[in-house]
């Protein structure tokens, strides 16, 4: 091997980042964390009523930054005092009872297409990372990036270990992650339904807005981004686009 070859860094993987809430699944995953906590009598009926209200608003009108942040803070607080093993068990129960029935099969099919093309597929979400990791594992994806919760001696405190992975923070974490993997962002992909993810979508070379809220749809139309309504013909076109980009690379 020549000296030049030894000095040439190995190119990193192509990464496809998928938002979770209303992109991979219908509704807000954090709501299901709250509902399972109520099933286990970890929270009161009043608490689950608050979660239900946020879920209703999310399905009806999309993300509201203040309401979503409040719901996520409540959900993160629920993990306080529980071990990682217990939370993994809870997350698996949530997956079976609540997340699996609410997955968008079309978006899941796109994750499969990326994997088939040799891409890494990472969930990126404000949901607690331990929950996101279970979703990724159960779907056979590469991994998950989520909001981290502080743990002391294997027990979660309920406090955040860093910021909620939302908006600009999500884009910052994705950029650092791509740098660590030597991934060329111009070759990477991102999928989201929310205008809060415009920073994430903007930084990659291939962005697809899925079932977008009104603000994101307007932004996508202005900038010529691909819009993916959840219907069979659009999914077929999107899968073909993944293959075309693979051949072009």
Residue 194 is part of a domain; what is its CATH number?
3.40.50.1000
Q: What are the catalytic residues?
A: 19, 21
Q: Is residue 215 part of a domain?
A: yes
Choice between 27 and 138, residue whose per-residue pLDDT is larger: 138
- The SS3 of residue 140 is coil
pLDDT, tens only, 153-207:
666 666 667 777 788 999 999 999 999 999 999 999 999 999 989 999 999 999 9
User: Containing H/E element for 37?
Assistant: helix 29-39
Q: Is residue 77 part of a domain?
A: yes
pLDDT at 63 over 80: no
Number of structural domains found in the chain? 1
**Cα 99 to Cα 84: distance, rounded to the nearest angstrom:** 20
- The SS3 of residue 34 is helix
- The SS3 of residue 123 is strand
Residue 47 C-alpha from the chain's centroid: 24
Q: Is residue 3 part of a domain?
A: no
Q: Is residue 208 part of a domain?
A: yes
Q: Is residue 116 part of a domain?
A: yes
pLDDT, tens only, 11-41:
789 999 999 988 998 877 877 776 666 565 5
Residue 241 C-alpha from the chain's centroid: 21
Cross-strand partners of 246: none
Q: Is residue 6 part of a domain?
A: no
CA 35 → CA 78, 157, 159, 172, 197, distances in Å?
A: 11, 20, 20, 30, 26
Q: Is residue 124 part of a domain?
A: yes
The two tokens of residue 100 are 């699996």
**Cα 157 to Cα 26: distance, rounded to the nearest angstrom:** 29
Q: What is the mean pLDDT of residues 198-218?
A: 95
**Cα 145 to Cα 208: distance, rounded to the nearest angstrom:** 19
Choice between 64 and 183, residue whose per-residue pLDDT is larger: 183
Q: Which of 90-94, 106-110, 138-142 has the highest mean pLDDT?
A: 138-142
What is the residue range of 67's domain? 11-248
pTM above 0.85, yes or no: no
């Amino acid at each position: 091997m020549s000296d030049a070859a030894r000095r040439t860094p190995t190119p990193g993987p192509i990464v496809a980042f998928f938002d979770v809430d209303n992109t991979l699944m219908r509704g807000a995953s954090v709501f299901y964390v709250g509902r399972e906590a109520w099933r286990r009598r970890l929270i009161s009926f009043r608490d689950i009523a608050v979660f239900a209200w946020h879920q209703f608003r999310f399905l009806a009108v999309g993300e509201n930054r203040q309401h979503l942040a409040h719901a996520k803070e409540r959900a993160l607080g629920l993990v306080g005092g529980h071990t990682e093993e217990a939370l993994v068990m809870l997350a698996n129960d949530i997956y079976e009872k609540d997340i699996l029935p609410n997955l968008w099969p079309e978006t899941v099919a796109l994750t499969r297409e990326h994997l088939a093309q040799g891409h890494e597929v990472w969930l990126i979400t404000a949901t607690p990372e331990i929950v996101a990791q279970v979703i990724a594992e159960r779907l056979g994806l590469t991994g998950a990036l989520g909001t981290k919760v502080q743990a002391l001696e294997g027990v979660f405190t309920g406090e955040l270990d860093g910021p909620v992975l939302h908006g600009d923070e999500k884009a910052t974490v994705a950029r650092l992650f791509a740098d660590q993997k030597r991934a060329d962002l111009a070759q990477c992909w991102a999928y989201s339904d929310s205008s809060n993810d415009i920073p994430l979508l903007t930084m990659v070379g291939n962005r697809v807005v899925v079932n977008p809220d009104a603000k994101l749809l307007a932004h996508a139309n202005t900038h010529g981004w691909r819009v993916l309504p959840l219907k069979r013909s659009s999914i077929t076109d999107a899968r073909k686009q993944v293959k075309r980009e693979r051949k072009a690379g």
